[in-house]
Structure 1
């Protein structure tokens, strides 16, 4: 049961990071973020990206904060499995 919970959490983070990559690529297409799908994606991903954009300034015309955000999501996914292994070892004795 515990494995299922952690697997769902890890998969949710993976799906969110894939959606974030799609949202980032939407900036390459004019008007994509102004569509209905784009506005939904904006509501989902801008609150997550905003703190990274405050910390990491753009390099000219390139915003690298989404790259850092994706790395943080991937590390969180790895952390979930690390936490799972710690709990299983603690329970096993």
Structure 2
């Protein structure tokens, strides 16, 4: 199946965002359990970058979704929504593109 450059770009952006969210979630656990330290410049840079990229997307979800015993499930909801949007695009939008 031929995929248009526009469809490829959207799919790639969604996949990159998926990985940024996963990296941020894993890094948050590592920071919470003192496995890595944010005083390390590399860790602090990655933490800051991933937070700046995904916090605007997580903020609306966090305003609606409560935390469960201190566990933030908003990254999981965002991952599911991203996969849903990508599948919708493959089903309905991509076939319409030249």
Aligned partner of 2:57 in structure 1 is 48
CA RMSD in angstroms, aligned pairs only? 2.2
SS class of match (1:29): helix
Query: Could you say what secondary structure the match of 2:67 adopts?
Result: coil
- CA drift of 1:2 comes to 6.6
Instruction: Give the C-alpha shift of residue 29 in structure 1.
Output: 1.9
Count of residues in Structure 1 that have an aligned counterpart in Structure 2: 88
The TM-score normalised by the length of structure 2 is 0.78
Q: What secondary structure is seen at the aligned counterpart in 1 of 2:4?
A: helix
Instruction: Choose from 47, 68, 71 the match for 2:77.
Output: 68
Q: Show structure 1 runs of 5+ residues with no match.
A: none
Q: Which position in structure 2 is the counterpart of 1:27?
A: 28
Change (3 A) 1:32 1:80: farther
Distance 1:32 1:47 in 2: 21
Q: Secondary structure at the match of 1:35?
A: helix
**1:4 maps onto 2:5 in alignment:** yes
Gaps in structure 2 of 5+ consecutive residues: 32-36
Q: Which TM-score applies when normalising by structure 1?
A: 0.82
Matched ranges for 1:81-92 at <5 A: 81-82=90-91, 83-85=93-95, 87-88=96-97
